[in-house]
A and B are shown apart, each in its own frame.
Chain A
């Protein structure tokens, strides 16, 4: 069985702040991490491999420094890693990114599953996973919170729980299939010392547009239908009325205001 996991290196946006004087993102002290949802994807792939045997390949599209995200995946137990990197990919939107990743998956050849995290915490679009599925012409199951059953190729089928607003769907699909996973699916493990040492010495090939057979007008900014025309820091509303002092008094004042607005 072969499982491919697509990951992304992102800045830790939960710790990013705006410098109020310059209106820019404060990047100092903000680590580059593996996108949190992708950690769950990696963990699920490794668990499936541990139960059924086979191989897990992690891939990422990004600048050269994204290699460290792949080494982290390797240290957790992923078998092979591929870095898709080239200046020509810069400025890719989700269309160009999903095409590029799909081409890399096609180049790899045989696979039972492609697993992605639900969304990346910098772009927040949740579009690349389904985009890859379309480029590969395979079915998808999004927001997977649990894999109930998996039969690898050639019989090839999966039964999974898909998280929706008020519960979950149970969905069955033939393989190969693309899954996007949510945090409810598992608890990611920590890397072992052995894993880290293995990861350090692993060879990670770098693929560019030539290796993937992509034209310049299909990738990067040129190949992207969407275009960011403006970036700005959101306005913060004016601070409101703050009540301090004794709880009794503060609550009285608050309730008076809310009564005035007919909310209580």
Chain B
């Protein structure tokens, strides 16, 4: 496994230096040198017009991919109610299944979940595999990952999708390792390539670049998707599907951890990820007292309150309101960004909003690149004016 510069063919033209997205290639004299931090992305190989860069990929042992068929969605439920990220996964899952000419199945683990199973059929699942037992009432890492791994090894799906929620991000990485396969987290794009492989696209480097990832030689191809990235499928009660009850084995129940309780967040807030309108505040508000302007504007627009990382780190508002790469991804009809410069890590969390309004005194703030409408001005004048006018109607 290696990459090397073929000395005789390299003439120091620097095409590879320019092609490397990570800046790992430099010139020593007239010879290109690949640095220590090279992660073998391969961008330089086609960039060199002289064939002076060679990359060799040795293949590990092959598994029989033809045995794997079908698209699965791991449904997420809380207290017997499906989480809406599941409906979004069923939407993209259906597209993938149709393209592959295979069935779409949902895996439902919990207790008292018969209604949820019926809803999964209404949302597009051809089959629903139900694992219903008291021990599975609340999500726990070990039993859920054991059951899911066992089902994957038994029924051999070619693609498994799950929500990138707190649960999903604990469960799916465990399962991927147990089943010895590849997992791509937080995908923003999923499609089938010409060769039938799942193309998994996601942001990396804090959202500065996008990467398309394949799992060419292992199965299933696993991916997680954040809430509000894909569009949900509406329910169609006339749809028919198979609901299959899965027998629980003793080994599935193995669990070393214990849940002692759950403490709800003190503040009663709208879960911003579900809101149609979000008004967000950032560093431009300058103080926690001023942040009240954001709250008043949100109230006047009938929306929820969001925040950039700067506002959360400054302690003006709890983390549950944070929008961005390390916060929530939102997709409201209207997103108003107040005093937010628009660092890429924030944009990644809200740029799919239908209409984006930006208010900032800096005309060069990156937020204006994604805004549908912008006001360049002093937010301490603009926002109170907006609130007054909205209240007048």
Contacts and interface: CB of A to CB of B under 8 A. Distances in A.
B381 interface: yes
Contacts of A122: 204-206
A252 B373 CA distance: 13
A155 interface: no
Interface string B99-121: 00000000000000000000000
Given A126-B185, A131-B177, A227 B20 contact: no
Interface in B345-393: 345, 351, 355-357, 363, 368-378, 381-382, 385-386, 389-390, 393
A169 B377 contact: no
B297 to A, nearest CB: 11
Contacts of B167: 164
Contact of A131 (B176, B186, B389): B176
B177 A98 contact: yes
Interface string B181-210: 111111000000000000100111111111
A239 to B, nearest CB: 6
Interface string A236-261: 11011111110110111011011001
Contacts of B60: 217-218, 222-223
Contacts of B169: 126, 142
A16 B215 contact: no
A123 B204 contact: yes
Interface in B319-368: 319-320, 325-326, 333-334, 343, 345, 351, 355-357, 363, 368
Interface in A47-98: 63-65, 87-88, 90-91, 93-95, 98
Interface residue range, chain A: 35 or more
Interface in B101-145: 141-142, 145
B253 to A, nearest CB: 14
B320 to A, nearest CB: 7
B208 A13 contact: yes
B262 A167 contact: yes
Contacts of B377: 244-245, 247, 250
B389 A255 contact: yes
Contact of B174 (A22, A65, A140, A163): A140
A237 B204 contact: no
Contacts of B166: 142-143, 163-165
A141 interface: yes
27 contacts: A16-B205, A25-B21, A64-B36, A87-B2, A122-B204, A124-B204, A124-B325, A139-B256, A142-B166, A164-B166, A166-B271, A169-B261, A171-B260, A177-B257, A220-B1, A222-B1, A226-B182, A227-B214, A228-B42, A240-B368, A240-B372, A244-B375, A247-B381, A257-B373, A258-B373, A263-B277, A263-B334
Given A24-B20, A142-B141, A225-B180, 7 more contacts: A91-B40, A98-B177, A122-B205, A134-B178, A165-B271, A231-B41, A250-B377
Interface of A: 11, 13-14, 16-18, 22, 24-27, 63-65, 87-88, 90-91, 93-95, 98, 119, 121-131, 133-135, 139-143, 159, 161, 163-174, 177, 184, 216-218, 220-234, 236-237, 239-245, 247-248, 250-252, 254-255, 257-258, 261, 263-264
Interface of B: 1-2, 18-23, 36-43, 57-61, 141-142, 145, 165-167, 169-170, 173-174, 176-178, 180-186, 199, 202-218, 256-265, 271, 277, 301, 319-320, 325-326, 333-334, 343, 345, 351, 355-357, 363, 368-378, 381-382, 385-386, 389-390, 393
